[in-house]
Amino acid sequence: ILAGRDCLGVMPTGAGKSMCYQIPALMFDGITIVVSPLISLMKDQVNSLIQSGVRAAYLNSSLTAAQYEMAISNAARGMYKIIYVAPERLMTGSFLSLASSVKISMLAVDEAHCVSQWGQDFRPSYMKIPEFLGKLPYRPIVSAFTATATAEVKADIIKMLELRDPFTITTGFDRPNLSFQVMHPKNKDTQLLSIVRSNPEECGIVYCNTRSNVEDVCQMLQEADIKALPYHAGMSMNERKQNQEAFIYDRCRVIVATNAFGMGIDKSDVAYVVHYNMPQNIEGYYQEAGRAGRDGSAAKCILLFSGKDYATNKFLIEKSIESSQLEPETAQIIVENKLRQLNAMYGYCNTADCLRGFILKYFGQPYSGYCGNCSNCTGDFVEKNITIEAQKVLSCIAKTKQRFGAKMIADILLGSKNQNIINNGFDSLSTYGLLKDNTRDEVNKIINYLIVKDYVFRTQDKFPILKLNGSSVKILKGKLKVTMRTKKTDTLNKEKVFTVSKSDEYSEEMYDYIRSVRNQLAEEANVPAYVIFSNNSLKDMCIKKPTSLSQIL
């Protein structure tokens, strides 16, 4: 950027994206405009800049008309170095006339993936950015940043923002201090409670896929005497702000939220992020899960999966597109793309391979072997030959003429006596009850496994149907052996999962003491505790025990 080149930075949460444009902004002569999609994000960034003595402002719909005019006239008098602006504002008359009358050194686009309709968060207002650049008397340096982008999205950002020969950097996506776990619990509430209770001193985020789930889960936690608060877009601005602050200032331990929560929240001491539902894509998942452990401490990212999550997400995707009023053709492309992303997410939840490896490979970063810090690498697995079971499933699909989904197939194999089975006469099929010695859970797992491994094809219809493919036929003919890597136990091994590595011993007593001093300083300065020192820094002090200012420096 300092050499005057356009730039595209793909850097994970916590890697220091904002610094990459804020520091050049301070070194340049004129003003830097930062395009940012979220009001809460702008406000936080501007507040922290002002706290560091940087003259900055934001322009978005949260300002009154008078405040907006004031900010514009201050900007025209050169009072700010950095101005954050919502993409919708770029093409307004007052902003355009400001932009043409001052020296703009750089336009930085934050959350740049929003410009791509291949991304998980496409925002049409981002398309206005090149149009805006075209209206300026001269073209400033353009820099674009995002935390997550596949190769496809990267190419799209360069094209859509018309970046000129940009310097492109993709920093490693790996966050070694995060441990990844996928669980398939029978009862998500019980599982969640056990996770929260095993981390009594720490705070965490619980993500749910709908507002009503947020309310229910939050209430469940509160009834179990856990200080939890909800956060979702259906709540008033004020309530949201209060709950967010209660979380940041450690007045509540757990925030239960939809994906509306988190962009730009840089609370660094989040010890765990639990996804109560499977999210819609790996991009979103990694961004949300990545809010854990930003201070570098060991932290957990746990996903509680159930088969129902797939159907719910599919429904949510289709509904959101229906209400988006896009051209049918565009809508079709977007739906297909989102379902592809959903399938990858489903693959993550059902793979027996290293979870970290799965994510990194998804983002195009080669990774081989086992990380030793995810539930698949640390779990006890058994390699099981399930060819016979697979044949039973596949022949049941064939016998019912490939017209049904996973649930019906499982019902038949389990010998269910439900009305649907009786009405269709399926209780007289030769495959009826063939897997009745297995639990429903086991049968579901086998079917899921066959889908993930492409041994059977699942259609993308509203009610997905299972169909046989080439591999299915080979299995039925006994020409292909099926082995499944399954966990011996799906219950959480507390010992293994929840002990932070204690390679360096320190006194708990000393830690508690300086922690209380830190908290008091934070209270006096009216800032969150982690702004004074992160827990990790405190632990390090307890190990190194500096006794003079120069030592601590």
Take residue 297 and report the two structure tokens written for it: 């401490």
Please answer whether residues 86 and 126 qualify as being in contact, where contact means their C-beta atoms are separated by less than 8 angstroms. Answer: no
Estimate the crossing angle of helix 328-350 against helix 355-362, to 10 degrees: 150
What is each CA distance from 210 to 258, 428, 502, in whole angstroms? 6, 41, 38
What is each CA distance from 376 to 45, 267, 276, 333, 367, in whole angstroms? 37, 28, 19, 34, 15
Shortest spacing between CB 479 and Zn ion, in angstroms: 32
Give one DSSP letter per residue of 230-285, joined into a string. Answer: EE-TTS-HHHHHHHHHHHHTTSSSEEEE-TTS-TT---TTEEEEEESS--S-HHHH
User: Which residue lies nearer to Zn ion by CB, 77 or 488?
Assistant: 488
Please answer whether residues 341 and 219 qualify as being in contact, where contact means their C-beta atoms are separated by less than 8 angstroms. Answer: no
Please answer whether residues 291 and 205 qualify as being in contact, where contact means their C-beta atoms are separated by less than 8 angstroms. Answer: yes
Please answer whether residues 531 and 522 qualify as being in contact, where contact means their C-beta atoms are separated by less than 8 angstroms. Answer: yes
User: Which residue lies nearer to Zn ion by CB, 367 or 506?
Assistant: 367
Burial class of residue 309 (count of CB atoms within 10 Å of its CB; 0-12, 13-18, 19+): buried
Q: Which of 260, 223, 261 is nearest to 245 (CA)?
A: 261
Take residue 439 and report the two structure tokens written for it: 């639990």
User: Which residue lies nearer to Zn ion by CB, 371 or 443?
Assistant: 371
Shortest spacing between CB 444 and Zn ion, in angstroms: 24
Residues that bind Zn ion (CB under 5 A): 354, 356, 371, 374, 377
Shortest spacing between CB 378 and Zn ion, in angstroms: 8
User: Which residue lies nearer to Zn ion by CB, 193 or 352?
Assistant: 352
Shortest spacing between CB 503 and Zn ion, in angstroms: 20
Shortest spacing between CB 180 and Zn ion, in angstroms: 7
Q: How far apart are CA 348 and CA 527, in angstroms?
A: 38
DSSP 3-state of 91: coil
User: Which residue lies nearer to Zn ion by CB, 75 or 377?
Assistant: 377
Strands 56-59 and 457-458: unpaired
Shortest spacing between CB 366 and Zn ion, in angstroms: 15
DSSP state of 374: B
Shortest spacing between CB 173 and Zn ion, in angstroms: 14
Shortest spacing between CB 449 and Zn ion, in angstroms: 19
DSSP 3-state of 51: helix
Shortest spacing between CB 375 and Zn ion, in angstroms: 8
Strands 178-183 and 228-231: unpaired
Shortest spacing between CB 345 and Zn ion, in angstroms: 17
Strands 167-170 and 7-10: parallel
Shortest spacing between CB 508 and Zn ion, in angstroms: 30
User: Which residue lies nearer to Zn ion by CB, 359 or 434?
Assistant: 359
Q: Which residue has the tokens 């009826």?
A: 432
Please say whether the dihedral angle defined by the alpha carbons of residues 511, 516, 520 and 525, taken in this order, is positive or negative: positive
